[in-house]
Chains A and B, each alone.
Chain A
Amino acid sequence: MKKQLYILQDILGTNRKIAQEIKAACEEKGVLVVNLMSSPGAGKTTLLEKLAERLKNRYKIAVIEGDIETERDAERIRAKGVPAWQITTGGACHLEAKMIARVLPSVEADIDFLFIENVGNLVCPASYELGERVRVVLLSSPEGDDKPKKYPKAFTTADVLVLSKADLLPLLPFDIDRAKKEALDLNPSLRIFVVSALTGEGLDSFIEFLVAAHAALRPADA
């Protein structure tokens, strides 16, 4: 017998459900979860190294690193004295919430910040929530100012845009106003920080933003 079922079910619903559970569990403990996305080589790990240096004396932080292969990024973070877990996807182009859920039990519960560095890829990670409160997309100056509209999903779903490698701006034909305008056209509520991890430019205001977002999780404690 032929049968038709009308359903209307979110195909990514299973991932979203796990992500929401992660988000609720972390935020209840006062953990701010930050998901960092960008193409490979935009400077996610270097930015995390700098954040680790500047935050670790005041806050407890942990990092989950996503890569296709190798422990290299986790080792770089551990070298800063911050606990890090490496997820190697073995080929998959993005992290999914269930991968985070598997690692989470081994991450200490009393941390303030959990940074998740996604697999370097400006397309696929954007479709997968990981339980983050803050989604950060990095665009580095060598990549070009025309990227937001070429890779719109990453920019429409992000809360924050970090324009990284700002120290190279004088050397490159990168029009920072164009990059900002392209991104804001796609997502008018995007917060934008111009940052150089190398010189430290812009790091303070980005950290201030993260600290405020963390404080907002527990307004009663303030």
Chain B
Amino acid sequence: MHELSIIAGLMETVEALAREHKAKEVTGIRIRVGALSGVVAELLDSAFDIYKKGTIAENAALEIVKVPFKIRCKACGAETERDDFQFACAACDSADLELVQGTELVLERIEMDSDEPEK
């Protein structure tokens, strides 16, 4: 259960960006969580609820986009999207693969209320 430290890291970035853009309030945060990122989306949600109190994102909604993992077969070139941790090509069963997506843990978008004019 390290979701709280992940949220702590996320909030550091969010608060820095909020300061930079002179935000009065952060109203929404969207993150992308890969199936191989090693964190549980539901726990991130609970951790966020605990952590956001008293911060500039106190009333923000956390939107979590779950990203399945995708592998590309080096033998036949096929791309397979999986959610079962089987590292094998769905087309030819080869194990010679590269990971295309699924390890990410990324802050994608922040919505804020700001006095700063749009550039």
Q: Which residues of chain B in 1-57 are interfacial with respect to chain A, using CB atoms and an 8 Å cutoff?
A: 1-2, 5-6, 9-10, 12-13, 17, 21, 23, 27, 31, 36-39
Determine if B86 and A6 form an interchain contact, defined as CB atoms under 8 angstroms apart: no
Residues of B within 8 A of A14 (CB): 9, 12-13
Q: Which residues of chain A in 164-222 are interfacial with respect to chain B, using CB atoms and an 8 Å cutoff?
A: 184-188
Determine if A127 and B12 form an interchain contact, defined as CB atoms under 8 angstroms apart: no
Q: Total number of A-B contacts with CB less than 8 angstroms?
A: 101
B110 at the binding interface (Cβ < 8 Å): yes
Determine if B1 and A188 form an interchain contact, defined as CB atoms under 8 angstroms apart: no
Q: Which residues of chain B in 102-119 are interfacial with respect to chain A, using CB atoms and an 8 Å cutoff?
A: 104-118
Assign chain B's interface to a size class.
35 or more
C-alpha gap A159/B93 in the complex (Å): 23
Determine if B9 and A4 form an interchain contact, defined as CB atoms under 8 angstroms apart: no
Determine if A2 and B111 form an interchain contact, defined as CB atoms under 8 angstroms apart: yes
B116 CB, min distance to chain A CBs, angstroms: 7
Residues of A within 8 A of B114 (CB): 1, 3
Given contacts A11-B105, A12-B105, A153-B38, are A93 and B112 in contact (CB under 8 A)?
Answer: no
Residues of A within 8 A of B118 (CB): 1, 3
A80 at the binding interface (Cβ < 8 Å): no
Determine if B111 and A7 form an interchain contact, defined as CB atoms under 8 angstroms apart: no
Q: Which of the listed residues A1, A96, A149 has the most CB atoms from chain B within 10 Å of its own CB?
A: A1
Q: Which residues of chain B in 65-119 are interfacial with respect to chain A, using CB atoms and an 8 Å cutoff?
A: 85-88, 95-97, 104-118
**Interface SS majority for chain A:** mixed
Residues of A within 8 A of B23 (CB): 3
Report which of B85, B96, B109 forms a contact with A5, defined as CB distance below 8 A. Answer: B109
Chain A residues in the interface with B (C-beta under 8 A): 1-15, 92-94, 96, 123-124, 126-128, 149, 152-153, 156, 184-188
Chain B residues in the interface with A (C-beta under 8 A): 1-2, 5-6, 9-10, 12-13, 17, 21, 23, 27, 31, 36-39, 85-88, 95-97, 104-118
Other A-B pairs, 20, CB within 8 Å; known A2-B27, A3-B112: A2-B111, A3-B116, A9-B106, A11-B107, A12-B6, A12-B9, A12-B105, A14-B9, A93-B2, A96-B5, A123-B38, A127-B6, A127-B38, A127-B105, A128-B2, A153-B37, A185-B88, A187-B87, A188-B87, A188-B97
Q: Which 8 A-B pairs have the closest CB atoms?
A: A124-B2, A153-B38, A127-B38, A5-B110, A9-B107, A3-B114, A11-B105, A152-B85
